[in-house]
Structure 1
Amino acid sequence: MCKTKMAVNATEPKLTRSRNSGTTRTSINTPSSKPQSPRPSAPISDPSSSNVDYSSTGSSYKLDTSRATTSFSSRTSLSSLRDSLPENPYIYDFAEIRSATNNFLAKRHSSSSSPSWRCTLRDKDVVVFQRKIRRSIETSELKQRLSVICWSHSKSIIKLLGASISGDHIYLVYDFVNGANLSDCLRNPRNPNFTVLSGWMSRMQIAADLAQGLDYIHNNTGLSMSFVHKHVKSSSIIVTEPLFNAKICHFGAAELCGETAIEQREVKIVERTGSDEITEEDAPRTPSKLKRSDSRGLQFEGVTGYMSPEFQSTGIATQKSDVFAFGVVILELLSGEEPVKFRFDRRSGDYKKRSVIDTARDVVEDDGGGGGGGEAVEGRLRRWVDKRLKDSFPVEVAVKLTRVALDCVHVDPDKRPTMRRVVGKISKLYLESEVWSKKVKVPVDISVSLGPR
């Protein structure tokens, strides 16, 4: 027993403590005949022990806490990623919708044609839209479509959380995004000379976000369903601060309301002959086969200025009609004008219709297809582009973007580009705009006047 005890004491380290600059140092003295390598780091239970240094045979090292830090940061990043992913779609009970909107007596969220309310639903800040169902949808079909739409995830699309059906109406619940719609940002009736989009890069950012979001809807929402937005317009695009990103509203509304079902397209026909009226229930299921005499009273949901010619004649919303509406929004973004204007003609004494498409074509009609613009084109473009940009924009890029938008609004749908192709073109123009912005270095906090004092 004594020998064993002495052997243990011979190898027992001698601990000495010293305080230097408030740091506690523990020295371990071992026999020089058997040098020991530093012991590996152990899990730390006391955070203060991370300041303790161990020295052995003239070398010292500290306890390494990087492994614990890495583990903690990994858990944090995974948690943030999990929060950013879309959740399972909700089939809300109609009583929840009524309770959240105070029996639909709460203040309307916007002045759009579809009634909407901002409220709190299941501890989330949401916006509820009421839309009419164009055709009956079974609960199983609704769940299937919701599972595809709600699991779609893009930073340029406002997320759909769920839906509820009551009678002939469907209530779509979207995540609330703080911002203003593009129409109000471009045209404020209270202050027409002011816009928050006073810089060229802010408008290019919106154009790029809108193109990417619409391309995602057309090509990346997955499975065998071909999605169409149908409601592309400036009032359906939310602009967020401070980076002026654009987010598309009403994604999935057309599919969930039965407006774009390929197997059963419906067009509301109203043909008045005396007191007789053909209602929606009596409308033919294949409006593309309608004769000219049968289409005199075609009526369907659409916004003047954004509807493509084939959509006006058939009432069928397609991806090509979305591309047409996208082109109108880009021209609207460039000029700051409404899609359609009516001006009084003194000579004829009547109002004449003038669209932003017509004015854009007048600007680049003598371009010759070069895309770079000539002196005449440059002068017309500077007079046509929104004056609130203060003539500070890359002219060549503006001409190219105008031509891209005009390609999107081509009369022949087969000659319009796909959104995948449009995204590629606008991305290049965005990079060219960034190069121009770095060269110009436009001041944002001061104003410069070159006029006489």
Structure 2
Amino acid sequence: MDENHCRNINGSYQCFCPKGQSGDGTEKRGCHKQEVLTKVIIGAGAGLIILFVGIASMYLLYQKRKLMKLKEKFFRENGGFILQQKLHAREDSSQTAKIFTEDELKKATNNYDESVIIGRGGYGIVFKGILPDKRIIAIKKSKIVDKSQIEQFINEVVVLSQIIHKNVVKLLGCCLETEVPLLVYEFVSNGTLHDFIHNGGKEENETWKTRLRIAAEAAGALSYLHSDAFVPIIHRDVKGANILLDDTYRAKVSDFGASKLVPLDQADIATMVQGTLGYLDPEYMQSQHLTEKSDVYSFGVVLVELLTGEKPISFDRQEEKRSLAMHFLSCLKEDRMFDLVQAGIMNEENKQEIKEVPVLAAKCLRLRGEERPSMKEVAMELEGLRLMEKHPWTSREQDLEET
């Protein structure tokens, strides 16, 4: 105890520490040097942390606002406000397309994880997703969108969302908060007709019976789109890859990315040719005038595919056989149709049915669209074959001669 730093008080004394030290100045507890530097460092560090957190929070808030503005910009450019007005104007809300947020679809697909990709193509990518209510969906993410056709796109979303048919994939809604709009469909679990025919369908029990049913269902769906939908719709890309199959091998016509609504005052539409090589209507390619008979031609190729198990175009085949449709018509004319029928699908019980289908396919593949049957006629014919009812339009000999 240093007497210079103590003073007497009534009945006792009080000590204090010299400048630069802290404590009570008594011998028992004593004085010790103040750790000024440590306190300065701690104080400065805390200040820097608070400053960093503040700056980071402001940056995140800025980025969040920037992202929100970008989403609003995309939503506006993609016709979101137009779609909202059209949906609000509709009386039947049970069939209204839903406008999904980007966050909803990111959550449904685990931020578009690679593991949930179920399809890729020239058009873009398809993801499988699960909504909070456990519904499984398919999300189509296209590569590009024509900004000049946004209003047409919105109209098609409204119309397609109203289609309720057991053999048409249901459009549930869309997301317009991304640069390219996302389309949300019901999920169909069993792959495509193309896969069924070319990658494993051969082992399916009662293969021909199943194929004929799939053909009849797909034809019925296309007939509905052409004739019975709220606004007539031309699919424009009918092919095996766009006919999906569910767990019971029920056909579901899908992918209306190239579809066209038919104006009520027009019999055909002048348009840029779209479709898939091997399925394209030759008349449509030459004239660029689209009619529902273009879908009929493409469906004729699907029928031949179901009969033969061959791909519509193959450069592995000889030059005269590369186009399946042309090779099929040549064999039919030479009465060699059974040479093309896929091995294993024909027996004595279904031989007569299989004889009828090539004739129907040949009618669909006529070069002049006006000479082809309508999809309604094709659907009726196939359904009649399924039920073992014969409804030939003309004699088979005359049909073969015309072909």
TM range (shorter): 0.5 to 0.7
C-alpha spacing 1:195/1:154, structure 2 compared with 1 (3 Å):
same
Gaps of 5+ in 2: 1-92, 391-403
C-alpha spacing 1:128/1:203, structure 2 compared with 1 (3 Å):
same
2:232/2:261 contact within 8 Å kept: no
> Secondary structure of the residue that 2:181 maps to in structure 1?
strand
What does residue range 60-139 of structure 1 map to in structure 2 within 5 Å? 87-107=95-115, 108-113=117-122, 114-123=124-133, 124-131=135-142, 132-137=144-149
- Please tell me the residue identity of whatever aligns with 2:217: D
Gaps of 5+ in 1: 1-84, 264-285, 289-297, 346-350, 367-376, 435-453
- Please tell me the residue identity of whatever aligns with 1:112: G
- Please tell me the residue identity of whatever aligns with 1:159: K
C-alpha spacing 1:218/1:354, structure 2 compared with 1 (3 Å):
same
- Give 1:151's aligned residue: 162
- Give 1:427's aligned residue: 383
Q: Measure, in 2, the Cα distance between the counterparts of 1:138 and 1:340.
A: 34
1:332 corresponds to 2:305: yes
1:160 corresponds to 2:128: no
> Secondary structure of the residue that 1:173 maps to in structure 2?
strand
Q: Measure, in 2, the Cα distance between the counterparts of 1:312 and 1:143.
A: 27
Q: Measure, in 2, the Cα distance between the counterparts of 1:423 and 1:344.
A: 31
Q: Measure, in 2, the Cα distance between the counterparts of 1:382 and 1:344.
A: 18
Q: Measure, in 2, the Cα distance between the counterparts of 1:393 and 1:337.
A: 23
1:127-182 residue CA offsets vs partner (Å, 9 max, x unmatched): 0012232343557x666543332121111111110012356522110001221211
C-alpha spacing 1:211/1:287, structure 2 compared with 1 (3 Å):
closer
**How much identity, in percent, do the aligned residues show?**
26
- Give 1:365's aligned residue: 333
- Give 2:223's aligned residue: 215
Q: Measure, in 2, the Cα distance between the counterparts of 1:236 and 1:363.
A: 27
1:383 corresponds to 2:391: no
Q: Measure, in 1, the Cα distance between the counterparts of 2:367 and 2:179.
A: 35
TM-score relative to the length of structure 2: 0.64
Q: Residue 198 of structure 1: CA displacement?
A: 4.5
C-alpha spacing 1:314/1:100, structure 2 compared with 1 (3 Å):
farther
What does residue range 35-50 of structure 1 map to in structure 2 within 5 Å? none
Aligned-residue CA RMSD in angstroms?
A: 3.1
> Secondary structure of the residue that 1:109 maps to in structure 2?
strand
TM-score relative to the length of structure 1: 0.57
Among candidates 227, 238, 253, match of residue 232 of structure 1 = 238
Which protein has the larger Cα radius of gyration, Structure 1 or Structure 2? 2
2:314/2:323 contact within 8 Å kept: yes
1:104-137 residue CA offsets vs partner (Å, 9 max, x unmatched): 3333112433311001135221000122323435
More helix by share: 2
C-alpha spacing 1:105/1:218, structure 2 compared with 1 (3 Å):
same
Q: Measure, in 1, the Cα distance between the counterparts of 2:317 and 2:167.
A: 39
> Secondary structure of the residue that 2:140 maps to in structure 1?
strand
Q: Measure, in 1, the Cα distance between the counterparts of 2:163 and 2:194.
A: 26
1:218/1:227 contact within 8 Å kept: yes
Aligned length, in residue pairs:
291
> Secondary structure of the residue that 2:159 maps to in structure 1?
helix
Q: Residue 207 of structure 1: CA displacement?
A: 1.1
- Give 2:296's aligned residue: 323
- Please tell me the residue identity of whatever aligns with 1:235: A
> Secondary structure of the residue that 1:342 maps to in structure 2?
coil
> Secondary structure of the residue that 1:180 maps to in structure 2?
coil
Q: Measure, in 2, the Cα distance between the counterparts of 1:160 and 1:254.
A: 15
Q: Residue 86 of structure 1: CA displacement?
A: 6.2
C-alpha spacing 1:143/1:312, structure 2 compared with 1 (3 Å):
closer
Q: Residue 92 of structure 1: CA displacement?
A: 1.5
- Please tell me the residue identity of whatever aligns with 1:95: D
What does residue range 11-22 of structure 1 map to in structure 2 within 5 Å? none
Q: Measure, in 2, the Cα distance between the counterparts of 1:144 and 1:363.
A: 44
- Give 2:286's aligned residue: 313
- Give 1:303's aligned residue: 276
Q: Measure, in 1, the Cα distance between the counterparts of 2:175 and 2:181.
A: 6
Q: Residue 420 of structure 1: CA displacement?
A: 1.3
Q: Measure, in 1, the Cα distance between the counterparts of 2:136 and 2:288.
A: 35
2:156/2:261 contact within 8 Å kept: no
C-alpha spacing 1:433/1:202, structure 2 compared with 1 (3 Å):
farther
